[in-house]
Structure 1
Amino acid sequence: MPDNADLLDIDSLFTADELAMRDTVRTFVDAGIRPNIAGWYEDAVFPLEVIPELGSLGLLGMHLEGYGCPGRSAVEYGLAALELEAGDSGLRTFVSVQGSLAMGAIHKHGSEEQKHEWLPRMAAGAVVGCFGLTEPDAGSDPGSMKTFARREGGDWILNGSKRWIGLASIAQVAVIWAMTDDGVRGFIMPADTPGFQATPIEPKLSMRASVQCDVELREVRLPGSALLPGARGLRGPFECLNEARYGIIWGAMGAARDSYLTALEYSRRRLQFDKPLAGYQLTQEKLVNMALEINKGMLLALQIGRLKDAGRLQPHQISAGKLNNCREAIRICREARAILGGNGITLDYPPMRHANNLESVRTYEGTDEVHTLILGSHITGIPAFR
């Protein structure tokens, strides 16, 4: 972190390779995203032109091994997510949906033929993927999904609806989860398959520089080879969701840091009653509280990243990070907006954009309530979801 955000010398806890990855992504964001993001957000446009560059930087499926994937560490992936979300949540969301969800599902649960067919092109950014789990009436409870896949000879026929499916209208391939007579199964579906239709959800007040869609599946016929052989039951998609949740733990701190630094710079030069805002005790208290939570959130993310790299990360630990860091990040962004006063509601400054985006980030990949109950179940030994 910049010196006036890093109170605890957290940078000293990273390796040279980790810092190099962070700096590469930060340079990309500073040069290619910051000058344009306000316009993309206002126009509700995701910049398709950045996708090949994300691939060339090794940011797509970056934590996956083989099949053209970079095979970077969990901490490197986390730092990349942080810097991307400091630009905009929509950018980090693209990398998350592409790499952790769509590519992650194929890498974790696919056949060798499926992996070789899709992963190299997806890692390069030549093919965009989406991940269809959530439905209009099945968000936090995906076990109640109504999308159904029936056998017909050697083929599968899928019918149903999905909602809030990131990238679906720009994707060339979809990973779709459906109920079958054998429980929940996953399928790889080329987006040009007859019966597959993706419609962007508009208008939105959050994640405007991003793509989320309604997806309709009407008598979609897939060959038997479309089935993901390694995924049975909800554990299949949940393992992918945990990968995406991990990236959010870091990404949320990127949005928080960007908002904090914006408020800090503004308060130093904004004069009120012939004195910089930063010189007032109430402003300093706000800035101190922001910096403390960013530092605590970074330490939490780093510990979770080290556990993941060591192969010891548990699902409840991911919930602890996602719940805390999203909750604190949105508070920081809102407080930063308050320091900016009326100017803070314009797109000239990022805190309100970040806060609006975090309303979505806080909701997807598990709401605050879901992660609270995961932690509550771990602490008490008593599941309280119903």
Structure 2
Amino acid sequence: MVEEDWVCDPGLMANRLLMNFYESGSLFLPSDGLARQQAAFEDFYRTEAAQAAELARPEVERFVFGFLDSAVRVTGQWDTDALEAHVTAAIKETTSADRPVLRAIEESPDPKRAAETMIAQMALDGLTEATAMSQNLGGAFGAEQSELFKIFIDEFGYGVFDAKHSTLFAELARSVGMNDQPHHYWYFYLPSWIAGNNYFYKVTRSRTDFFRYIGGMAFLEATFAPSFAAMTKTFRSVYGDAVDTRYFDEHAHIDEHHGRMAVYDLLLPLGRKHGAYAIQEMVRGIEEVRLLGRIGDEDLLAQIAWRPEAIDAAGTGGEPLEPGGAFETRVADRDTVIAVVEGEAELHWSPTGAPLRFGSGQSVRVPRGRLYGVVPGEGSAVTLSEAAEGTR
């Protein structure tokens, strides 16, 4: 895949597959107990599934992340001074930049739907925060290992469940009426946001990607504080006092400290100790995370901005969509028209809010790159086809 084609249906499916691969290495138990889900639990963690995943994983990773090799190039001579100058410039550029996603939420005709689309994406990491980081805590790599552990235990609330960052995120979700269970919004994760989460699983599973992980993690920790402070303001403007912003507020506070630790107690000491190879890998990690973040923001902005409309226009053939099947979402690989020949259908394009209902003789255009799900009414005839050039 290349960057231009990254937000696509095959990319969505591949990232969902990768997420299952990675998360099968962590323990998930249902909050209401295992009794009713024991069979699903045993099936997800069975040995045969893990073996199959390990066979397929490298090829899926190449499919999803292979474009980074050409999209991010790190050349020239690097030393610790150059690393410090690079990370300082990247942090300054990011923290002083505009935040178009937050502005789009505030200016949206339906700001709650827009905000909740963002919350659903953040839930990918927010409800399991620091799980990927935990994969790099073992072994022996000097004083930096203890510095990384200090950040990790902050993420886990120093062993206090109510202070754990994922607990705070769950309370944020509940305060705005959203579900707080991991992957409840599975069908509305955008491929770019799954990939951003998958990236950290990938580079923490691979021991040779350790320095790449440190670069990306340090950059994020050093840029989070002002971003989360801005989120508090945006979400207060949308929900008023009803929203529990402690998740944002905690990051706005603790990540000022984490950012200094990650850069000055991890990134730079590792560069001084391990030399040019480690430094180049850390710079690559910084730039890969910046690129993935840009793609994710563009993807989310486009999803928030899209407001589908039903128009009076009969379908002209295409792939029939059968009623009664399991709900699924996909990403439009090209501008697509969904037409109701007979009956009715629902179009779902966000994790919350009512679907768009449209009936016989009507159609909806789905722009290329947008995530959507269609539910045909019982006994309805609904088709999906490529939009003719020039149609709206």
Quickly name the TM-score band, shorter chain normalised: under 0.3
**Structure that is richer in helix per residue:** 2
**Structure that is richer in strand per residue:** 1
- TM-score, L = length of structure 1: 0.28
